[in-house]
A and B are shown apart, each in its own frame.
Chain A
Amino acid sequence: MIATRRWIAPLAALLVLTSCGYDATRVPEPDAAPTQPGAAGEPVECDNPLASYSPSGDAEAARAQLINEGRLVVGVSADTFQMGWSNPIENGVIKGFDIDVARDIAEALGVRLQLRVISAADRVSLLQAGEIDLVARNMTVNCDRWSKIGFSAVYYNATQKVLVRADDAEAFEREGVTSLAGKKVCAPRGSTSIDNITEIQPDAEAVAATNHTGCLVKFQQGEVDAITGDDTVLAGLAAQDPYAVVPEQDKLTDEPYGIGVNADDIALIRFVNSVLADRVSTGEWKRSYDTWLKPYLGVDVKAPTPDHSR
Chain B
Amino acid sequence: MTQAAPTPAPAPPVVQPATTPAAARQPAPSYVDTPALLNRWQLIGMSVAIVFAVLSALVQLVGWQSDGRAADDTEQLLRVQEIQSTLLRADALATNAFLVGGLEDTDDRAEYDAAIDSVLRQIAAAADAQPADQDVLADLNVAINDYDSAVARARDFNRLGYPVGAEYLTGASTALRADAIPILEALVAANTDRAEGAMNGQHPFWLLAIGLLALAGLLWLNQQLAQHFRRRINKGIAIAAAIVVGVTVVAVIGAWARDSSNDGLRDGSLAVAVSQATARTAANDAKANESLRLIKRGSGADYETAWSEAAAVAEDALRRDTGDAWDAYADAHADIVELDDGGDWEQARDLATTDDADGSTDDLDAFDGQSQAIVDTESAKVTDDLRSGRWLALTVSVLTLLLGIVAAVAVARGVGERRREFA
Contacts and interface: CB of A to CB of B under 8 A. Distances in A.
B is bound to A: yes
Interface of A: 2, 5-7, 9-10, 13-14, 17-18, 20-28, 30, 71, 73, 75, 78-81, 85-92, 94, 112, 114-119, 122, 211, 213-214, 216-217, 220, 237, 239-241
A79 B163 contact: yes
Contact of B163 (A71, A114, A122, A240): A240
17 contacts: A2-B200, A7-B203, A10-B62, A17-B58, A22-B132, A78-B296, A88-B102, A88-B161, A90-B161, A91-B346, A116-B298, A116-B299, A116-B343, A211-B167, A213-B167, A217-B167, A239-B162
B196 interface: yes
Given A9-B203, A85-B163, A116-B298, 6 more contacts: A22-B130, A22-B190, A24-B134, A24-B136, A25-B135, A118-B298
B202 to A, nearest CB: 9
A27 B298 contact: no
B261 to A, nearest CB: 16
B165 interface: yes
A117 B340 CA distance: 11
B197 interface: yes
Contacts of B206: 7, 10
B203 A25 contact: no
Interface string B122-156: 00000000111111100100000000000000000
B171 interface: yes
Contacts of B194: 22
Contact of B203 (A6, A18, A75, A86): A6
B136 A27 contact: yes
A304 B421 CA distance: 128
Contacts of A211: 167
Contact of B167 (A20, A27, A114, A216): A216
Given A28-B182, A114-B343, A81 B162 contact: yes
A9 B343 CA distance: 62
Contact of B299 (A88, A94, A112, A119): A119
Interface string B189-207: 0110010110011010010
Contacts of A88: 98, 101-102, 158-159, 161, 165
B382 interface: no
B99 interface: yes
Nearest to A29: B182
Contacts of A7: 203, 206
B183 interface: yes
